[in-house]
A and B are shown apart, each in its own frame.
Chain A
Amino acid sequence: MIAKPYLSFASLIILLLFAFNISAQSTITVVGEVLKPLTLSVSSLSKMKQEKVIVEDRDNKEHTFEGVPLYDILDSAGVTLGGELRGENLVKYILVQAVDGYEVLFSLPEIDPEFTNQTVLLATKVDGKALANGEGPFRIIVPNDKKHARWIREISTIKILFSME
């Protein structure tokens, strides 16, 4: 947005190279109370079943976000969901962390289709294109959250933890 008219062609190329590297190099890890820790890249996520959600973003316009339901990712990591989501497993939580240090939290029932009708999505695309720098490569979309503070961008880590109280 703050494009400078004197920005040279060479620096544009450098910027594009950096941008390409960011997407190619970035991964997210799924760790904590899991049976199988995961490290996922854009390409490994693209091999999982994709879903789309159409929601209004901060610009008050409708957008189609595409990616993998967070439920499916945690399920493949062996997190206690579905029939196992009872008893002490109800005090587990999902801590999602971004590269800038921003963090948000979900309880497991908030993403489990046996508890909720919404699909919390780990998005990699918006309107058919890869998420922009500063937003992607990975972003969480929470369709039923009116305020978008948990639509966390630039995710690096998903931790499943027990409340220790």
Chain B
Amino acid sequence: MKSIWQRKYILSTWAVIAVFIFAFVVQNEPEPYIIEYPAYFGGRFSIPKDNPTTQEGIALGRMLFYENKLSKNNAISCASCHQQKLAFTDGKTFSTGADGLQTKRNAMSLSNLLWVRNFFWDGRAKGLEAQAVFPMIDSHEMNQSLDVTVEKLKETEIYPQAFNKAFGSTEITANKIVKAIAQFERTLISADSKYDQYLSGAYSPTEQELRGMELFMTVPQPQKNIRGANCGHCHGTPKIFKELFHNNGLDSNPTDIGRMEFTGQEIDRGRFRVATLRNIALTAPYMHDGRFKTLEEVLDHYNEHVQPSATLSPFISDVSNEIDGESLALTQDEKKDIIAFLHMLTDSTFINNPKFSNPFKS
């Protein structure tokens, strides 16, 4: 028979061991990250069960996003073409890759990607994890296989530790690289523009902004004297983004066939992603080929220069402010009003958020 004291001693020894084990496990368990967004964005998104968003995963993803070692010439990171100050674009028509050659399409803005399901201008990648692979291995982008990246990161001092914190092991794999970048990208939420402040009742738009907003959201009905630009048909909802693919009449016979290249369907000829208009004043030049340098040129296109084709979007071709009109027929002042509204979509909190900046420069 053990005495009561002996029993207490054994029990407390076990307790101490248990606390040590618990502390060890907890230390290695990444801390969940709660993604916050306005209720008006809605919750239609899904995060892969095998890649929960964690503080440590995001921190690693952010490092990788700004890491030049991901490219063949050690000179390009994701952030080269996706610069925070330009709402994660690069201001160029096409970007120059690690092979010195230019990309085929304009670098897209990265914001509110949580709500995107099919990525790129042609929607070819399902989910952020699948998306992240393309630019890393594309010869005109970072031009390096994931196997080489893994080897390069293994030789560093910081990465094995960072992978350990994020995924519970110092082992670096291609899969973990992709997962961490996807986690970081899920946190890039833009929800503090003047338009958001207006939606939450904290900002009173100017008269011009209000006129522009009304035109943006309204379908024109000339029979009823209702004027509109119908932008919201494809760019609407408080997210100012709908996941749609349309031919917006840039060319009658496009050299870049867009989504058709991916689907093989004739009905997709010349269709491209309807881009988010969040921070649009910061993300020039515009369109998949960066052909328009200014928002004025974009408005002129939709108003006066739409090119007919079999796959032209009926939401563009069948809309006019004149009865039986052949173009949108907005006035110069109306175009200016719409551009004033587009400037309301600029989110300076987003482009200055220290959580999204280069972690190697802070």
Contact = CB atoms under 8 A, between A and B. Distances in A.
Q: Do A and B come from one complex?
A: yes
Interface of A: 1-4, 7, 11, 14-16, 18-19, 21-22, 25-26, 99-102, 132-135, 153-154
B317 A99 contact: no
B267 interface: yes
A21 B267 CA distance: 8
A133 B269 CA distance: 12
Nearest to A10: B253
Contacts, number: 73
Nearest to B315: A134
B99 interface: no
Interface residues of B, number: 30
B275 to A, nearest CB: 13
Given A1-B326, A18-B269, 6 more contacts: A1-B317, A1-B318, A18-B266, A21-B266, A102-B244, A134-B311
B116 to A, nearest CB: 11
A21 B309 CA distance: 13
Contacts of A133: 310-311
B129 interface: no
Contact of A18 (B310, B314, B318): B310
Q: What does DSSP make chain B's interface, helix, strand, loop or mixed?
A: loop
Contacts of B271: 99-100
Given A3-B326, A11-B253, A25-B265, A100 B245 contact: yes
Contacts of A4: 307-308
Interface in B257-276: 265-269, 271
A18 B309 contact: yes
Contacts of A153: 314
B309 A134 contact: no
Contacts of B245: 99-101
A18 B118 CA distance: 26
B266 A25 contact: yes
A118 B155 CA distance: 68
